[in-house]
């Protein structure tokens, strides 16, 4: 027993020195504190076992034995707590986790008070053959095995979820260190081997040693590496770490699944060597990565690009982001993160198609509105021309009948000619008005399906809108009042036809809202801090709150069967997509609704 005593003394001294040195290193994380606590419990266990070798008093032996039982129960529970803290990436131990120590605490209390109830030992003796165990001793032993198996299951499950080689190495180290005392204790319990009482605490030295390597060499108990790895996995489907000489020094499972088999991109492979063995159609993926890798190294800035990849399942698009890794202001490598953006691109294409369909439908509706406006605007001059022609026919007949009549003087002929000239001037004015309308309509019709961006003024927009809506304004008893607060000739960049369509929709809706009552529609143009704002204010009944919430998001209308809801929906899309602005509606204090269109300043658009 002298050699064993020396071994226990050396082990206890080494463990004590290790604990003190760890405490002197400064602030510890929650997992590190738990690890040192387990080392303290093992130290108490070793000291108690070593003390039993020199103790002659039966009462003293009982106390030391109680210390060994309590230390083993608290030690295995602390290891369980370490596994929970690590696998859940906890920086602080939740309060309810400390409830796990209730059972080890009860065990400790029972074993120290055994002389009062004899539930742990019915008979205590220094000789194993004379010891009689109580029912709680068996429960305490089962408790050790249950906790150990639970720790192993937790760690294996964590490794399976992580699917990362480095994590599996840490998990293997943690489980391997725990299996040594587990198997030792199992052999002693089943009496397969006749082992002394110091065998199990010495076996736990292997556990502490393995966990110590993980703490100070593999950084197992520092949650930052795992947290950073999980964060990178959440940001990108696949990622790889490249050294400064383009060698893949690490990559996750997702990256290997995408590029490992098809493009030969695996750990410890150089990109410039991989490309030589690839098929011609696959080389562009490596070439692009190498080119942008060089740009990232030279600029020491983050670089992004998009990569298309063909596979048996179709074409996939990846957003590739290269980030330089600096160590002490020196470039150590580059992290390449690959994110699958195929669904995003498809969704954007789908939205663009839906927007195009909506715009096309709105153009057709606008065309119908334009034809209606043309009919209203042309009807009046046509009727005027028709009346003028009838009067001219009467004058021509009168003039023909006066030929040869001696009573008709020269003054009478001049009067008839003057009257005919007046009617002809009126016909000419009506024709000129109709020509202006047709010229404007022709210009808009030619551009209905094309977007032609350029410079235009609000005055040009209002001139066209007034021409189209003149008939409807008169029909509904409305009057358009304009308040221009911009310098004359202020230019706006975009497609004038798109802007005419939007303002036309807003004023047309205001006319419909005031169809029964009539009144003034105010159009105000002014400058704000964000840019240029166009306000269309009506005196209608207003818009219900539930409709206002979805007014520009879905095709809803307050006109019943008379409306489609396309007008405001497409107007909002035009302002957002074509002008980079926004559109909204507010209730007026004196009743009615105001619609606002805000166009950003040129520098913001850029």
Please check whether residues 358 and 329 belong to one and the same domain: no
Please check whether residues 180 and 118 belong to one and the same domain: yes
Domain end, chosen from 400, 434, 450, is at 450
Question: 0.85 cut: is pTM over it?
Answer: no
Q: To the nearest whole number, what is the mean pLDDT of the chain?
A: 79
Please check whether residues 73 and 174 belong to one and the same domain: yes
Instruction: Identify the pLDDT of residue 390.
Output: 85
- Least confident span in 229-243, 279-293, 467-481: 229-243
Give the pLDDT confidence of 303-325 residue by residue, as tens digits: 899 888 877 777 888 889 998 88
- CA 570 to CA 66: how far, in whole Å? 81
> Is 129 within the bounds of a domain?
yes
- CA 102 to CA 88: how far, in whole Å? 22
- CA 460 to CA 44: how far, in whole Å? 92
| β 248-251/593-600 pair status | unpaired
Domain end, chosen from 182, 201, 226, is at 226
Reported as a pLDDT band with limits 50, 70 and 90, residue 565 is low
Give the pLDDT confidence of 15-43 residue by residue, as tens digits: 777 777 777 766 677 777 888 888 888 88
Please check whether residues 472 and 536 belong to one and the same domain: yes
Domain end, chosen from 292, 321, 340, is at 340
Instruction: Identify the pLDDT of residue 602.
Output: 63
Please check whether residues 103 and 62 belong to one and the same domain: yes
471: its two tokens: 């008939």
Question: Distance from CA of residue 119 to its chain's centroid?
Answer: 59
Reported as a pLDDT band with limits 50, 70 and 90, residue 572 is confident
- CA 486 to CA 492: how far, in whole Å? 12
Instruction: Report in angstroms the alpha-carbon separations of 288 from 134, 292, 309.
Output: 73, 6, 12
Range of the domain at 333: 236-340
Q: Is the pLDDT of residue 518 over 90?
A: no
Reported as a pLDDT band with limits 50, 70 and 90, residue 88 is confident
Looking at the chain, how many residues does it have? 606
Reported as a pLDDT band with limits 50, 70 and 90, residue 522 is very high
> Is 461 within the bounds of a domain?
yes
Q: Is the pLDDT of residue 225 over 60?
A: no
Reported as a pLDDT band with limits 50, 70 and 90, residue 493 is confident
Tokens 């738990």 label which residue? 34
Q: Is the pLDDT of residue 261 over 60?
A: yes
Please check whether residues 306 and 221 belong to one and the same domain: no
In this structure, are residues 246 and 271 in contact, taking their beta carbons and an 8 Å threshold?
yes
Residue 554 is classified by DSSP as S
Instruction: Identify the pLDDT of residue 597.
Output: 93
At residue 304, φ and ψ (nearest 5 deg) are -125, 145
Please check whether residues 155 and 8 belong to one and the same domain: yes
Angle between helix 2-24 and helix 30-52 axes, rounded to 10 deg = 160
Give CA angle at 35 (32, 36), nearest 5°.
90
Please check whether residues 218 and 321 belong to one and the same domain: no
Instruction: Report in angstroms the alpha-carbon separations of 99 from 39, 81, 109.
Output: 21, 11, 16
In this structure, are residues 459 and 498 in contact, taking their beta carbons and an 8 Å threshold?
no
Average pLDDT (229-233) is: 54
Q: Is the pLDDT of residue 111 over 60?
A: yes
Report the CATH number at residue 19.
Answer: 1.20.1070.10
Q: How many domains does the chain have?
A: 4
Please check whether residues 214 and 254 belong to one and the same domain: no
* Rg of the chain taking only CA atoms, in angstroms: 45
Instruction: Let me know if 440 is exposed, middle or buried by CB neighbors in 10 A (0-12, 13-18, 19+).
Output: middle
Please check whether residues 244 and 141 belong to one and the same domain: no
Q: Is the pLDDT of residue 576 over 90?
A: no
Give the DSSP H or E segment for 226. helix 223-235
Tokens 């003293």 label which residue? 60
> Is 199 within the bounds of a domain?
yes
* Residues 6+ positions from 355 with CB-CB distance below 8 Å: 573, 577
Give the pLDDT confidence of 42-63 residue by residue, as tens digits: 888 888 887 877 777 778 888 8
Give CA angle at 190 (134, 180), nearest 5°.
110
Residue 487 is classified by DSSP as P
- What are the beta bridge partners of residue 238? 338
109: its two tokens: 């209390």
**Regarding predicted confidence, which is higher, 233 or 76?**
76
Angle between helix 165-189 and helix 135-162 axes, rounded to 10 deg = 160
Give the pLDDT confidence of 322-349 residue by residue, as tens digits: 988 887 677 888 888 888 888 888 888 8
Report the CATH number at residue 578.
Answer: 3.30.565.10
Please check whether residues 48 and 18 belong to one and the same domain: yes
Reported as a pLDDT band with limits 50, 70 and 90, residue 374 is low
Average pLDDT (262-271) is: 83
Please check whether residues 38 and 7 belong to one and the same domain: yes
**Residue 512 DSSP SS3:** helix
Instruction: Identify the pLDDT of residue 509.
Output: 87
172: its two tokens: 């293997």
8: its two tokens: 């226990």
Rounded to the nearest 10°, the torsion over CA 412, 414, 418, 420 is 70
Average pLDDT (493-505) is: 85
């Amino acid at each position: 027993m002298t050699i064993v005593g020396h071994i226990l003394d050396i082990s206890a001294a080494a463990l004590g020195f290790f604990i003190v040195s760890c405490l002197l290193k400064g602030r510890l994380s929650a997992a590190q504190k738990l690890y040192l606590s387990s080392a303290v419990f093992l130290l108490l266990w070793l000291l108690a076992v070593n003390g039993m070798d020199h103790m002659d008093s039966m009462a003293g032996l009982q106390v030391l034995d109680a210390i060994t039982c309590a230390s083993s129960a608290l030690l295995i529970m602390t290891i369980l707590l370490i596994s929970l803290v690590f696998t859940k990436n906890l920086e602080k131990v939740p309060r309810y986790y400390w409830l796990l120590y209730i059972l080890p605490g009860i065990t400790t209390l029972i074993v120290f008070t055994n002389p009062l109830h004899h539930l742990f030992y019915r008979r205590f003796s220094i000789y194993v053959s004379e010891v009689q165990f109580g029912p709680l001793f068996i429960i305490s032993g089962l408790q050790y095995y249950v906790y150990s198996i639970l720790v192993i299951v937790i760690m294996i499950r964590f490794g399976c979820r992580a699917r990362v080689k480095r994590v599996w190495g840490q998990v293997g180290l943690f489980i391997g260190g725990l299996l040594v005392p587990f198997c030792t204790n199992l052999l002693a319990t089943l009496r397969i081997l006749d082992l002394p009482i110091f065998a199990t605490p010495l076996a736990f030295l292997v556990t502490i040693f393995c966990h110590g390597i993980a703490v100070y060499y593999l950084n197992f108990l520092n949650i930052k590496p795992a947290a950073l790895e999980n964060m990178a996995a959440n940001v990108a489907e696949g990622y790889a770490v490249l050294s400064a000489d383009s060698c893949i020094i690490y990559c996750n499972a997702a990256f290997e699944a995408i590029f490992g088999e098809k493009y030969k991109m695996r750990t410890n492979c150089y990109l410039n060597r991989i490309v030589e063995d690839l098929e011609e159609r696959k080389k562009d993926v490596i070439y692009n990565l190498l080119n942008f890798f060089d740009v990232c190294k030279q600029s020491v800035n983050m670089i992004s690009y998009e990569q298309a990849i063909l596979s048996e399942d179709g074409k996939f698009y990846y957003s590739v982001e290269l980030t330089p890794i600096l160590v002490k202001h020196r470039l150590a490598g580059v992290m390449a993160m690959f994110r699958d953006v195929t669904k995003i691109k498809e969704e954007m294409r789908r939205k663009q198609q839906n927007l195009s369909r909506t715009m096309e439908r709105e153009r057709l509706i606008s065309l119908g509105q334009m034809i209606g406006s043309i009919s209203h605007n042309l009807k009046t001059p046509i009727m005027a021309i028709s009346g003028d022609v009838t009067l001219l026919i009467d004058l021509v007949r009168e003039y023909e009948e006066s030929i040869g009549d001696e009573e008709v003087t020269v003054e009478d002929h001049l009067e008839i000619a003057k009257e005919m000239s007046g009617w002809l001037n009126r016909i000419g004015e009506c024709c000129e008005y109709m020509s202006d309308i047709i010229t404007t309509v022709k210009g808009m019709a030619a551009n209905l399906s094309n977007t032609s961006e350029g410079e235009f003024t609000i005055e040009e927009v209002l001139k066209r809108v007034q021409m189209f809506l003149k008939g409807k304004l008169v029909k509904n008893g409305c009057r358009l009042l304009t308040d221009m607060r911009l310098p004359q000739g202020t230019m706006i960049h975009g497609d004038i036809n798109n802007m005419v369509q939007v303002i036309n929709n807003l004023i047309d809706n205001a006319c419909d809202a005031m169809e029964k009552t009539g009144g003034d529609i105010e159009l105000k143009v002014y400058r704000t801090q964000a840019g240029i704002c166009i306000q269309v204010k009506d005196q209608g009944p207003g818009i219900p709150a539930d409709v206002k919430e979805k007014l520009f998001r879905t095709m809803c209308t307050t006109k019943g069967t008379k409306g489609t809801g396309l007008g405001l929906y497409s107007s909002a899309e035009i302002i957002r997509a074509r002008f980079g602005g926004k559109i909204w509606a507010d209730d007026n204090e004196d009743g009615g609704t105001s619609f606002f269109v805000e166009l950003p300043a040129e520098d913001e658009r850029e």
